[in-house]
Amino acid sequence: MTESIGSTAPGWITDLLDTLGAPGAGVAIAAENLFPPLPSEVILPLAGFAAARGSMPLFSALAWTTLGSVTGALALYGVGASLGRERTVALASKLPLVKISDIEKTEHWFRRHGTKAVFLGRMIPLFRSFISIPAGIERMPIPVFLALTTLGSFIWNTIFVLAGYLLGDNWEEVTGYVDVYSKVVLAATALAVAAFVMVRVSRRGSGARRRG
């Protein structure tokens, strides 16, 4: 299967699929959740293409990639739960420009919108991994976390596995669209962080002038 997939697919991914089949796709996606720079936009459509070639059943590709997503998410949930609120607050309060009130506002927001964040976050690059950590810190009930993660991951995975399945030899076209989507998300995140820093710095400057 390795030779017929395409030269742009990383060798370790094609080796996993070639050796383990659908479970290999699940292992790759679990690793992608733990290490976001790994290319899910390659793994998922490649699994779909492999299914189209008859290397694995389509249902198995969907089931194993979703299981991999949930496994990786649970591991990060465990990191958040082990870290706990007190350690998180202690660490975050040491960051420049971050106040305890910022952390409290974030906690309040997550308590109100955490379920939506966990579900929708599965369809947003980068956030789809890290959203599990605050869920663990806030000790979101595990059955709720599992249900939201499974549903959100299944939707995301199905879109890209089916795209690879339907595109066949042209499965690599999917990566271009995902690359644009990822860049838009990262740019929006960078702008939000820059705006936060500018507002916080300007407030500090105004406070210093008033005290002077």
Q: How far apart are CA 155 and CA 119, in angstroms?
A: 10
Question: What's the 3-state SS for 8-26?
Answer: CCCHHHHHHHHHHCHHHHH
pLDDT tens sequence across 146-156? 999 999 999 99
- The pair of three-digit structure tokens given for residue 193, joined into one six-digit string: 């962080």
pLDDT tens sequence across 29-46? 888 887 766 667 778 888
- Give residue 101's pLDDT: 65
Average pLDDT over residues 119-135: 83
Tell me the range of 15-24, 71-80, 98-107, 163-172 where mean pLDDT is highest.
Answer: 71-80
Q: Which residues contact 82 (CB under 8 A, 6 or more apart)?
A: 136
Torsion of CA 20, 22, 24, 30, to 10 degrees: -160
Tell me the range of 98-102, 120-124, 132-136, 165-169 where mean pLDDT is highest.
Answer: 132-136
Report CA torsion sign: 119, 71, 109, 206.
negative
Amino acid at 143: P
Q: How far apart are CA 91 and CA 88, in angstroms?
A: 5
- Give residue 205's pLDDT: 56
- Give residue 203's pLDDT: 60
Residue 7 has pLDDT above 70, yes or no: no
